[in-house]
Structure 1
Amino acid sequence: MVALKAGEIDGFMRRFGTGEIRSPIILVYGPDMGLVNERARFFAEKCTENPEDPFQLIRLDGDLLASDPARLVDEATTMGLFGGRRTVWVKPSSKNFAPAVDALLAAPSLDGVAVVIEAGDLGRSSPLRALCEKSKHTIAVPCYADSARDLGAVVDDMFREHGFTLSKDVRLAIISSLGGDRMASRGELSKLLLYVHGQSEVTLEDVEAVLADVSSLAMDAIIDAVFSGNPAGFETDFQRIVAEGTPAAVILNIALRHALSLLQGRIDIEAGKSSGAVVESWRGLHFKRKPHIERQLNRWTSTGLKSAIQSLQASLLDTRRMASMSTDIGGRTLLSLSMRRG
């Protein structure tokens, strides 16, 4: 397997599809589900002559493969009815579909087909990741929360595409208002682009009006209630923000990003760094939230945060599979976390 490092991925993606890079199986995984989906879509569409043709780009649910492992081999080895290179895009699952991938890797030939596997945050001991790491036919693309440099590139690309050149102050204000999830960041940038449509420039006032709104303060209150151990405060704020139209999946995504940031901070503390120093290095943190974050860092252990991250990822997948129950799923998971001792 070719396991890409974070700094190699952008260059790899630029070269991919030029003929220089070919691989029948691509594993895209990591904690940033928005970035995982974005990159999986890129590879799936790049490998397919006509992504709009359902006979060329076949989407399979991971849950289906968990119950029917032979289905992946059947789809990957079936000849296209009208010719053309075919791609099988496997969507995330809360179940283990490694046996389906194992059978695929044992197939005699994968000529004329690509398989893109979109997965969640796979630990080193994950059956799927371990299986792919042993194979010479796979490329692994990890997706971690965006750094300031990553966000800067996304911001520059999106605004350049719409004809805007950002001033240094405006660019910095936009980046500091975004989080680590790629899909959420693109959504926020799209809102800002819509707001400034028809203008010749983007101002700090525009950024504040769109990205630093009251809803973000309400969201902060929910997240702090969850990780500070305040179930009563969480329930009140959660019911209000959901009633105003915010999907539970969005709240779960933000909670997941927060848990990942807490985990990195907690690891630093367990390595000898003070909680105060960790809080001071937290990018984009409003000064009023600093005491809350420091309490959370001292309340949770790294083990507890890893368990919380797994719970949040599983609930996000459940909200996709059972959209009509997403509010109940998200509320139950977040309430449970607010009652944990860390």
Structure 2
Amino acid sequence: MTAVRPGEIEGLLRRGPDPRILLVLVYGPDIGLVADRSARLVKGMTADPDDPFALVKLDGDALASDPGRLVDEAGTIGLFGGSRTIWVRSGSRNYAPAVDALLKADPAGARIVVEAGDLQKSSPLRAVCERSSRALAIPCYPDDARTLTELIENTLREYGLGIDRDARDLLAQSLGADRRASLSEIEKLALYARGRDKVELDDVEAIVSDVGASVLNALIDAAFAGRMAEAEREVRRFRQEGLDPSAMLGAALRHALALLNARLDDPSASASSLVANWRGLHFKRKGLVETQLSRWSPGALRHAAAALQEAVLACRRSDAGLAQAHASAALLRIAGEAARRRG
């Protein structure tokens, strides 16, 4: 199995995989991104959407009970001829034997997309796919600043819209770590700006910078500025609003990396000059961000980013209540560390 490099994924989704590839495994911790990429692959690979036999959807748990069914479905000819697309969605049971039998049988005239979750390297499904030269893997990890920028620009382009740089930067800061939620916000913004050529900063502030975004910014700024009492208050408010803990951690991680990049771009610059050149930063946040830049060193920011990444993984392995606890604890640890750096 060949894993697609991050920079090559969008190109592959547009043109489709090599015809010699029988099966594409889409997996990773970002379930929204897994679902989005699987759906795009299936759409591009299905020859005739009007043929009810051209696309078959199978449940992984059903395949675990009947491993031979996947081979049978792949070998069935469509009603109007041509190739078939089979879309497998994972359940809770191990259906790796069904995939193993398919790859060994190598049926002609079928393309398979397997939509999986966050698979460890030792998982049976990954192991089976990695042994085959006819399997391809698309890993899906939470969006970083670069992929969020691409997502914003590409999605708005589909609606015939451009976007100002300041508006794009603010929008990226407002989005969470889940691709499905991010797409929903971008599409909402596109509908708001319909009939115009470009999305501007006022549009983003009106539509995306809602209660969730304002709570999130207040929490992140309080934490990185070392304002412990404010951070504790905003954590409680975040939980009362019922907001997504992965959004909290994703936004905090992007902010830590933005602080780090600002510091590394011009190590000798003062915090005030770095803030003055920070595009897309809302004027109400500038004072707090200046405090943060004066308090955090590049090494400390790298450590904070690593801790946030660990918290993201812990959240994705936990139920909703425990995920909230992991996210809250991570932000309060950052607030405590920033408070110790007061000077």
What is the aligned counterpart of 2:247 among 254, 273, 277? 254
CA offset at residue 60 of structure 1? 2.2
Equivalence for 2:161: 164
Residue 203 (1) aligns with residue 200 (2): yes
CA offset at residue 52 of structure 1? 5.8
CA offset at residue 143 of structure 1? 2.2
Deviation string for 1:90-142 (max 9, x for gaps)?
Answer: 22445433233223223x23211111111223333332222211111101112
Confirm or deny: 8 A CA contact 1:16 1:22 kept in the other structure.
Answer: no
Unaligned runs of 5+ residues in structure 1 are 274-279, 316-328
Structure 1 residues 260, 152: closer, same or farther in 2, change over 3 A? closer
Confirm or deny: 8 A CA contact 1:58 1:87 kept in the other structure.
Answer: yes
CA offset at residue 70 of structure 1? 1.0
Deviation string for 1:156-214 (max 9, x for gaps)?
Answer: 22333333333333333333433443322211111111222234543211111222222
Equivalence for 1:175: 172
Residue 334 (1) aligns with residue 328 (2): no
SS in 1 for 2:112: strand
Q: Superposition pairs for residues 1-342 of structure 1, below 5 Å?
A: 1-16=1-16, 21-51=19-49, 53-62=51-60, 64-65=61-62, 67-70=64-67, 72-80=69-77, 82-84=79-81, 85-106=83-104, 108-219=105-216, 237=237, 240-242=240-242, 251-254=244-247, 257=250, 288=288, 309=312, 312-314=315-317, 330-335=320-325
Which residue identity lines up with residue 112 of structure 1 in the other structure?
Answer: G
Over the aligned positions, Cα root-mean-square deviation in angstroms equals 4.6
Confirm or deny: 8 A CA contact 2:36 2:180 kept in the other structure.
Answer: yes
CA distance in 1, matches of 2:134, 2:169: 41
Aligned residues: 308
TM-score (normalised: structure 2): 0.68
CA distance in 1, matches of 2:101, 2:256: 36
Structure 1 residues 335, 94: closer, same or farther in 2, change over 3 A? farther
CA distance in 1, matches of 2:305, 2:6: 26
CA offset at residue 152 of structure 1? 2.7
SS in 2 for 1:70: coil
Confirm or deny: 8 A CA contact 2:57 2:86 kept in the other structure.
Answer: yes
Which residue identity lines up with residue 103 of structure 1 in the other structure?
Answer: A
CA distance in 2, matches of 1:103, 1:284: 52
The structure with the larger Rg is 2
CA distance in 2, matches of 1:88, 1:205: 44
Equivalence for 1:325: none
CA distance in 1, matches of 2:233, 2:68: 47
SS in 1 for 2:163: coil
CA offset at residue 48 of structure 1? 1.4
CA distance in 2, matches of 1:129, 1:305: 27
CA offset at residue 284 of structure 1? 8.4
CA distance in 2, matches of 1:312, 1:50: 40
Structure 1 residues 117, 200: closer, same or farther in 2, change over 3 A? closer
Structure 1 residues 238, 206: closer, same or farther in 2, change over 3 A? closer
Confirm or deny: 8 A CA contact 1:92 1:120 kept in the other structure.
Answer: yes
Which piece of structure 1 moves more, 51-60 or 39-48? 51-60
CA distance in 2, matches of 1:99, 1:166: 48
SS in 2 for 1:87: strand
Confirm or deny: 8 A CA contact 1:30 1:122 kept in the other structure.
Answer: yes
Percent identity between matched residues is: 37
CA distance in 2, matches of 1:95, 1:86: 25
